[in-house]
Structures are given as structure tokens and as C-alpha cells.
Amino acid sequence: APLSSVLLPEETSALSRVQFVDNWSVSAQDCQIVAAKPVGVLVLCKNGAIYTVTAGQGMQSCTMQLTERPKDSRDLPTFTITVPFLQPVCLVVQRSGKIILKDVLNRATVCHLTLPTSYRIASPFNPVYALNAKQQVLFIRGDQETSCNDLSKRRSQSQLFVFQFDQSDIMKPHIVSHLEPPRQQTTLCHGSLGGICNLYLEQRMHSVDERNKALVQTWGKLQETAARMQQTPQSNRHLKNYNK
């Protein structure tokens, strides 16, 4: 049986991302918690609004709006994820490439994560990143802004940036000192930042052939599509001449 049926506000648009949250609690003034183990959900809508939902058996679901629909399209959230070692914080990436940490309880902005001025994150819609709970760091790839059209040269100008939260006074109140072990351990743990970086680079090196193959296939499909689009107007002209 379902734990709960949740209805979002009528003005909410279609959902683009839903993520279950393990370690969030909600404010008592916003929700009356009755369930022993409520379930938290972070919801991103296509119009840019973000909601947090708390539900469970024996309780009325609680929906709170974390951010409203942005007025500027550049501020549209394109990617959201919870940070397991920061309580209660989620990471939001905007269309413009800005990276923001939001407090989901008081709906306040904790801080902005900024890359060097000549770099932007690889893709605001699908950023290349990794969170390490043991080191309490965020790894994220940044691409140097350039007008170069050569894809291989642009790739060589990518850098891996590290944000270490336990060294920031702003983040210390949010750091979770003791995390429950994950249900399934699917990644290797390394005791140093150097080991984690080496693992990332090793995985990238092993996947280069697959990525190059996918790039060739994508480029081939684009060429085929372009050829069909060029043939379509010619076919229409022949048809018109035939009708005359």
C-alpha cells in the first residue's frame, strides 16, 4: 500500500526531477509529524519551482516551496541534488551555470560556489560531479570558456575543481558528523583527495574509447539528419514542377 498520496499546488507545472531524501527533518511549525519514519522528497518542476515534500503513514503530507519560479530564465534551476553530509542542504545548479547551496528548512541561500572567472561548469543540465562524504568535498568539472570550435582542444581545457566544506565557517553548522552507512556501497573509498582524483582520472581514461565512439556515432547521425533536411526542399521543388 502507498505511504501517502501527495498533491502539489495547482499552479505547479510538470515535474522534471524527484529525489528521495534520507536525513532531512522538517520544522515543527510547518508540519505536524506523526509518522515514525517520514519520507522526504525533493521535487524540481519544469517551471523552475522547487518543493520539499514530507509524507508517511499516519500523517498528513506536508509540502513546502523552497524556491519560486524564477523571473529570469537564466536563473532557472536545471539540476538539484541533496548533499548527504550537509544538513539540511541541497545543491542547485542554474541555467546560467551558477551553483547554489540552499537551506531547505528556512529556504535561505547558504552560499554560492564559484569557479574561476574563465571557467564554467561542464553542463548546467548534466554536470560532471562527485560528492565524497568522508572528505566532505564536492568535485565538479569546469570547462574553460573559449571560442575554439575544435572539440578535442576544448576537452583538454577542462579542470577538476574541489570544494572542501569542512574548512568553511559558513558550512560548519550544517556538517553532519556521523553519517549512516549507505545501503549499497557501489564506489571505492580512498583516504586522501589525491586518491580520489586519481580514481576519477583513471575512470575517465578507461572510458575514453567509449566516449569517442559515442561522439562519432552522434556526429554521423547529425550528418545524416542534415543531408535529409537538405534533400527535402529539393524534393518539394520537384513535386511542384511535376504538378505544373
Express each pLDDT in 100-136 by its tens digit: 999 888 888 999 999 998 898 888 888 889 998 888 8
Q: Are residues 110 and 38 in the same domain?
A: no
* pLDDT for residue 238: 54
Query: pLDDT band for position 184 (50/70/90)?
Result: very low
Q: What angle do CA 136, 140, 146 make, to 5 degrees?
A: 155
pTM: 0.62
Burial pattern 16-32, b for ≥16 Cβ within 10 A else e, equals eeeeebeebebeeeebe
Q: Tell me, yes or no, whether 61 and 118 share the same domain.
A: no
For residues 23 and 124, membership in a common domain is answered with no
User: Is 101 inside a domain boundary?
Assistant: yes
Residue 6 pLDDT class (50, 70, 90 cuts): confident
Confidence label for 27 from pLDDT (cuts 50, 70 and 90): low
Whether residues 134 and 146 fall in one domain: yes
- Measured CA distances, 25 to 105, 132, 193 (Å): 8, 22, 30
State whether 53 and 136 are in the same domain.
Answer: no
Same domain, yes or no, for 50 and 76?
Answer: no
Residue 202 lies in a domain: no
Lowest-confidence region among 3-7, 35-39, 174-178, 238-242: 238-242
At 26 the pLDDT is 56
Is 128 in contact with 140 (CB distance < 8 Å)?
Answer: yes
Q: Would 107 be classed as within a structural domain? A: yes
What does pLDDT average to over the chain? 77
Instruction: Look at residue 114 in the predicted model and tell me its pLDDT.
Output: 92
